[in-house]
Structures are given as C-alpha cells and as structure tokens.
Structure 1
C-alpha cells in the first residue's frame, strides 16, 4: 500500500456512471454486459467529451489502491494492462494508476488474478473492505463494480460518491440504489456540468439522514 507520510486510514470512494433513472449497467459498449436481456449497452458514448476525462484524471490522481467486483475486474483486466503507462492524455494517467497501484478483487469465484499487482482477499467482502480501509493512505477507489458497491453501501463503508449522471433514461437495467438501500445522508461537496450535459456531483457521507417537519 502506498505510504505518503500520512498515517490516517484510507477513505473509500465510489466513482460511478449512472443514468437519470439510476442504471449503471454496461455504460461502455453494447457487448459489455447484456445479462438480463439488457439492450442499451454503450449509453454513455454520445455524451462523453474532453471535460469528462479531465475530471476523471483528477479522481485517479488521488488513488492509492483500487477495489473491484468480479465483473468489473474481468472487463478492466482485459483492457488496461494493454495500455502503456507512459501514454499521453487522460488514458495514460488512468493506465498508469491502474497498472502500478495495488488492486483488490472482492470475489468468492475468482481463483487467481493475472493482472500484476492484484490480490483476491477472499472471505466476507465487508470484512475484507473494512481491513483495507484501515490501511494508511489517501483513497481506496472503486470504479464501476455496481453489485459490490451495493453491498458496501449497505454496510455504510463508502465515504465519498462521485456520480456522473448522464441525461438519459433507459427504463431497464441494474440500478445502483435498490429499494433496500441503507438510508444515508450526504453532503454535496463539488458539482459541475459538462458541455454534453453530464452532471458530476461529489457527495460525502454524513451518516444517518436527518428528518424534520416542513412548516408554512
């Protein structure tokens, strides 16, 4: 684990592309994840512009380690090891982070991880993530991994949400926040909108929601 002289525990952040109706499934292409009969893969493509990638670079520059679910690991490990760490632009920055920093896969079905620098902690995902967060560093980052994210959100372990909300409704697909999601309050700490209409919001967890009465 990277040590930057700070002995504070790592924060866990989740960066997720979602639609207006909360779908996270298969943002990158038609064949990325057609499970469940999903036919809308690649829904981010018409809205990705240069300023999106500038934001993503700023996120990756804060990373000290990465956490994946099995499906996202399979997708990323088939692509990012092929990208040179000395590449130009946003892709080069992201490739350098992914290929050089520690990576962890929370999976009971993955027997071996071939991507260099990857470990499979095994056992209970919540316990494994809690142990990783106790390590010194800046951010343990999740990108995608929606199914694992739901488990970790339900355990109250995610400190920061980076949500890139795309101006499209799909009606079907896996949604990030299921009906049994843990009630949690968040503080909006940063927001911006890209030229293509993608709303980027950074939300910091504040624990249980606060309630009150709206009076006239």
Structure 2
C-alpha cells in the first residue's frame, strides 16, 4: 500500500495561496502572489528532488494541475528531477469542471473522491504525492487520507489569503518526524498523523 504525502509552502501565519507567482491565484483579491520566490535555494531544490524520486503517482487539484501542465511538459530533459517524474508518471486530477486533460497519463477524478483516493493508495507501492492543491488537500485532511505532511514554513507574514488549515478543521494530533532549515531561513517540518488531540492542564509544579 502506498503513502499519500502532502507538500506545500506556507507563510508563518499559515497562508498557502499563490506562492509561485503574482497571477497564480488572485481569488479573493489576493495580491501577494509570488511570496515564495525570495526563499528558493539549493537546499530547497535538493530536498524537492529527493522527494520527487520517491513518487509513483501525483494527485493534484485543478488549479495546480493547470499551472503544472502549462509549464512542465515543455521541459523535455528526462533527467530533470521534477519534469522527469511529472511527465512520465500517472497524474490524477480532482475536478468536477475539467472535461478533458491533455497532459499524458492524466486521469480525471470527478466523483466519490475519498473512495477513489483510498483505492489509489491501495494499488500504489510507494508515494502518491500531492503538491499545493489547497482545496483538494483540505478534503483529504478531512477524510484522514494524508499519511505525511511536508510543510515548508517561510519567514514571512502575509495576513490574508487561503490557509491550509482554516477555521473549522477537525482537531488532529501530529508527530514531528523530521525537521531541517534552508540557507534562506525556511524551516521544513515533516509530520505524520498521531491520532486524537489529548488535553490536560498545565500548572506550576509543587516544590
């Protein structure tokens, strides 16, 4: 059975909207697109290359798929650590609005998404990778389908924009399994689900 991994870039206040460019996603009047650019370095690119080498399939939301499909098929270097896997491995797109997908090896998932994703995990040997795809990712989180979170926390406060974990997200405990810091100050945290949230009372210890 495969592992579903979710990789996303976040501001310090949890915003994941439009990290890659000014016009990536202006929904809600968001005008800070491209906030990730100052923090990309070789440390980040190296870790991303390692992860893409583990993929057996990609699961993407419609917007992320369209951004990827407009760029990566034009990168014809089969040895490129990102383009190689993206252009040759199966891609699954969660969308009720797309009626066709031009990118090779793409399958549209329109209905019964949780069941379709669970079945995809069962028949995958290694990783099913989600990159970005905020709306899709929130659905996967709600149905406990994410096995590993790879969160790039950038040292920037945006104050507005779509968040990975918005108000109303179901409480869940996570276990930190790895952490690293890039040369530009981005902190990478890797988490895995750890069951229910446990509460208690913090008080002053008796002498």
Q: Please name the residue that 1:56 is paired with.
A: 48
Aligned counterparts of 2:76 and 2:145: Cα–Cα separation in 1:
33
Aligned counterparts of 2:91 and 2:129: Cα–Cα separation in 1:
9
Following TM superposition, by how much is the alpha carbon of 1:186 offset from its aligned partner in structure 2, in angstroms? 1.0
TM-score, structure 1 length as denominator?
Answer: 0.91
Spell out, residue by residue over 1:26-49, the C-alpha distance to the aligned partner (whole angstroms, 9 max, x if none): 101111111211110000111111
Spell out, residue by residue over 1:53-73, the C-alpha distance to the aligned partner (whole angstroms, 9 max, x if none): 001011111111000011111
Task: Tell me the matched-pair count.
Answer: 204
Q: 2:168 matched to 1:176?
A: no
TM-score, structure 2 length as denominator?
Answer: 0.95
Match of 1:146 among 127, 130, 134: 134
Unaligned runs of 5+ in 1: 1-8
Structure 1 residue ranges, 4+ long, deviating more than 6 angstroms after superposition: none
Following TM superposition, by how much is the alpha carbon of 1:118 offset from its aligned partner in structure 2, in angstroms? 0.4
Q: Please name the residue that 1:75 is paired with.
A: 67
Q: 2:172 matched to 1:192?
A: no
Computed over aligned residues only, the root mean square deviation of the Cα atoms, in angstroms, reads: 1.1
Aligned counterparts of 1:70 and 1:13: Cα–Cα separation in 2:
18
Whether the 8 Å contact between 2:180 and 2:188 is mirrored in structure 1 is yes
3-state SS of paired residue (1:93): coil
What aligned pairs does 1:1-150 form with structure 2 within 5 A after superposition?
9-87=1-79, 92-150=80-138
Spell out, residue by residue over 1:4-23, the C-alpha distance to the aligned partner (whole angstroms, 9 max, x if none): xxxxx111110000100111
Aligned counterparts of 1:149 and 1:100: Cα–Cα separation in 2:
23
Whether the 8 Å contact between 2:56 and 2:124 is mirrored in structure 1 is no
